[in-house]
Structure 1
Amino acid sequence: MTTTTERGAAPGGSGLRGMLRGSVGIAVAMGVMNIATYGFQMVAARLLGPQEYGAVAGLMALLLVMGVLQLGLQATAARRIAATPGHVAQIELTILRVTYRAALALGALMLVLAPAVWVVLRLDSPVSAVLLAFAAVPLTIMGGQAGILQGERRWFPLALLFLGVGVPRVVIGTVCLLIWPSETSAMFGVLIALLVPATIGWFALRRDREPGESSDEHHARPVIRETTTASLALLAFFVLSNIDILIARNVLTLHEAGLYAGGLILTKAVLFLPQFVVVIAFPSMSTPEQRRRALLQSLGLVFLIGLICTIGAWVLSDVAMVFVGGAEYGEVESLLPRFAVLGTLLALIQLLVYSVLARRGTRSAYVIWMAVVVLLALSPWVTTLSGLVTTVTMVDAALFAVLLGLTLWRVSDRQTALAADREAARAED
């Protein structure tokens, strides 16, 4: 499939060669982004120590949850452009308008909720919660921008945007922490760094487009509805993948919660390491004819990456501890392979969630919310660090099994219907 880019030019290769170039570029960019993003958290863990780093980890977890709106906009834009490339000009204009309004609305909401964030996360200062609210604006804006670039398969500017997410965070965030080692300083660095990818996205999309086809389907209301549905599904996933740090802060001692937060650095690294697979596969999963094959190949690749990371965490646990936070977090070293398994499960669940969004499914989100409820219901019985890791892993493993069964059934059902339609068309011919 070719898509229209600025001035109506085709993107940098939509065939196999272009796909390979795009895959490699996105993989490298997202690899650097994730290394840099979690490099910042490793720096924060070392400079702040377990207790205060636990607060930073809580802020970063909430930032990820806030990012569901950004990801909902990205998924909506990418799916619509990949499915109807002739409408790209109209879709881009609508997406950007919705994105700017959504960014301001989320920022205002988080500003109102700042006192609650201060209390729930047990932060030292309410200023950190206010900075988090401001960070919601550029975070959301870059989501709509990334979705447009992803749907058009403009991998190079998309790769630059991803680089802009990670590298400035580790550089600016580290400088802020060196000047003033505190949770507020860390959040200020994150806010300033988020302005970089939003600027890159604006620059990549700044030119006017040739008018294309137009449809009522791509007006603001349908886009908002789809974005809301996608965001709610992603919210369920991100609540699931981040609720454990909030549980840890409330059922464990602050020292143990800090140790758990250190172990989660490895979990999140394993979760986001294969994220390039989701980005590359999503346009194909949005196309019914390519959906099943893209899903199965992606699941296999994500599992393989997770398996390698888990073996690495077991065999090279002393090396992994360098990334987790060093000697202060030594009590968590024996649990690192289990944290890697948890990250693998979350990566697989994330891929299944995006496959649901690609086919515009909705019911699977309810299953994820049920898993969140189960995890919260079990939390009062968790009393140890090891027990929390075990509980979260068991809940996520059960969720993955259910989602995989539902997804394969739905995809097979759609494939059967498509085959029947093709057979009927051939019979009419």
Structure 2
Amino acid sequence: MTAPLETETHVQREPARRRLPSWLLGSGVIAVAMGVMNVATYGFTILAARLLGPSEYGALAAVMGLLMVVSVLSLGLQATGARRVAASPGDLDRIESEVLAASYRSAVVLAVVCLAAVPAITLTLRLDTWLTAAFLAVAALPVTVMGGQGGILQGERRWLPLAGIYLTTGLGRIAFGAAGLLLWRDSLGAMVGVAVGAFVPVLVGWAALRHPDRTTGRGPVPRAPRMRSRTSWARGGVFREVAHNSHALLAFFALSNADVLIARGVLDDHQAGLYAGGLILAKAVLFLPQFVVVVAFPSMAAAGTRRAGHLKALGLVLAIGAVATVGAYVLAGLAVTFVGGSAYAELHDLIWAFAAIGTLLSMIQLMVYGVVARQSQRAVYVLWGALLVLAACAPLLDSPVALLATVAAVETTVLLVLLVFSLRRRTPSPPADVPGKTTV
């Protein structure tokens, strides 16, 4: 699963490989980097919950939930780049050029769309100022570009520079986000810091893809003719695949963030803030085993992969989540301290349930990436159906307990249905417009 691609770039980087420890060049560095990223990201979240209190933090959590939904385009670009490179490593230069071009164009379009939606976001989330929503649009720009960069590195299995992107994603958020919080002590200050910090990993990705070691001896990078790009768009090229992948991931992130938006709409500010605080733990458990997805995806996307590997990855995710859930139940007081301290003491008896929700979401996330790897269309609608069920139940929910129970029931059903799809899966198909297809 973690063996490097046997391509020309791999051979040319061999001297550098001998100078560095094997764990630093293998997939293990991804687990370390993503661990640091998650700690830093949730360090910012915990700091925000403590400094802002339940009511103000509820507003910030809702905006950050929207940022996660908006970032699905970045994840779609990353999945597209990784899948195409893994399926056709011999055509790296053309794929890289197309994915990066798609990333830049998509980032600009998404930022403009987010700016146009600022008045609606401000009104719907009851924000104190429209500037908070405006900085959501600013953050969307670098986050989207980073997706294309990360996808190319992931497909090549260049774990060290990809780890650098993940590392600076977390460190950028905690450094600049904390500065914004300490300077302004409100959700606007937090969003300013988040937006500024989002540019840091883009610089790392740019440096990794422009490094001389990648191009030495490879000759000039071929440029695809303009007509080729139009044909790719019409016949299922990069943009079409990005649209499909983003659609699948949008469905997942919409489902995984719907509850915080529902809480903001149907519960009072205090209860919504408590629920948002509990979701800090849920999201921590969701992203804790994310390194499994990152490392497994290139192999899932390559032709001829076995179903057993997918199920083993799912079992690993379940094991990590189960340990976290049991830990939250046994150490409930510590878990409440983790999410925000004494202001969230009412969550003591429920905190383990948020960890369980995070476990369900992390397993669903792996299943969704399996859907992306095999380019399945029908499975995505299971997620949208679940979202409609949650929306239909929303008016009937009048407490955090009722919302938690409904979310758990819906997500368990989604997981079981996606598991059935996975057991019936077909061999992933390589990109339709890539000539001379090869396998990893």
Instruction: Work out whether the TM-score is over 0.5.
Output: yes
Q: Distance in 1 between matches of 2:223 and 2:182?
A: 52
2:151 corresponding residue in structure 1: 147
Cα contact 1:86–1:213 (8 A) shared by 2: no
Q: Structure 1's 96 and 310: CA in aligned 2 closer, same or farther, altered over 3 A?
A: same
Q: Distance in 2 between matches of 1:19 and 1:217?
A: 39
Q: What code does the residue aligned with 1:355 have?
A: G
**Distance in 2 of aligned mates of 1:396 and 1:59:** 22
**Aligned residues, how many?**
411
Q: 2:125 aligns with which of 116, 121, 128?
A: 121
Question: In 1, distance between residues paired with 2:129 and 2:99?
Answer: 36
Q: State the Cα deviation string for residues 36-59 of structure 1 (Å, max 9, x = none).
A: 111101100000000000011011
Could you give the per-residue CA deviations for residues 237-270 of structure 1, whole angstroms, max 9, x where no partner exists? 0000001111000111110000000000000000
Shift of 1:108: 0.5
Identity of aligned residues (%): 50
Other-structure match for 1:396: 411
Shift in Å, 1:196: 0.3
Aligned pair 1:270/2:285, yes or no?
Answer: yes
Q: Cα distance, 1:18 vs. partner? A: 6.0
In structure 2, the partner of 1:339 is: 354
In structure 1, the residue matched to 2:31 is: 27
Residue 164 (structure 1) aligned to one of 164, 168, 183: 168
CA contact (8 A) 2:164 2:204 kept: yes
Letter in 1 for 2:45: Q
Q: What residue number does 1:82 align with?
A: 86
Note closer, same or farther for the CA distance 1:196–1:3 as it changes in structure 2 (3 Å cut).
Answer: farther
Match of 2:260 among 228, 235, 245: 245
Q: Which amino acid aligns with 1:407?
A: S
In 2 relative to 1, CA 96–389 (structure 1 residues): closer, same or farther, beyond 3 Å?
A: same
Query: Do the aligned residues in 2 keep the contact of 1:70 with 1:141 (CA within 8 Å)?
Result: yes
More helix as a share of residues: 1
Distance in 2 separating the partners of 1:219 and 1:359: 23
Counterpart Cα distance in 2 of 1:25 and 1:371: 35
Q: Which residue of 1 aligns with 2:379?
A: 364
Aligned to 1:409: 424
Give the corresponding residue for 2:320: 305
C-alpha distance in 2 between matches for 1:233 and 1:85: 24
Q: Per the alignment, in what secondary structure is the counterpart of residue 334 of structure 1?
A: coil
- DSSP-derived class of the 2:178 partner: helix
Show the counterpart of 1:235.
250
The AA in structure 1 aligned to 2:12 is: A
The Cα shift of 1:131 comes to 0.8
Give the gaps of 5 or more residues in structure 2. 430-440
Aligned CA RMSD, in angstroms, stands at 2.2
**Cross-structure match for 1:193:** 197
Scaled by the length of structure 2, the TM-score of the pair is 0.89
User: What is aligned with 1:420?
Assistant: none
Q: Is the 8 A contact 1:274 1:347 kept in 2?
A: yes
Residues 185-233 of structure 1, C-alpha deviations (whole Å, 9 max, x = no match)? 0000000100100111011111474358999699752000000000001
TM-score between the two structures when normalised by the length of structure 1: 0.91
| Residues 337-384 of structure 1: per-residue CA shift (max 9 Å, x gap) | 110110000000000000111111111111110000011111111111
8 Å contact kept, 1:4–1:10: no
Taking a change above 3 Å as real, the CA distance of residues 134 and 58 of structure 1, as seen in their structure-2 partners, is same
Residues 394 and 7 of structure 1, relative CA distance in 2, 3 Å threshold: closer
Cα displacement (A) at 1:6: 5.1
* 1:318 equivalenced with 2:333 (yes/no): yes
Moved more, 137-146 or 288-297: 288-297
The answer to whether structure 1 residue 384 and structure 2 residue 399 are counterparts is: yes
Change (3 A) 1:5 1:342: farther
Matching residue of 2:12: 9
In the alignment, what sits opposite 1:203?
207
The answer to whether the 8 Å contact 1:114/1:126 transfers is yes
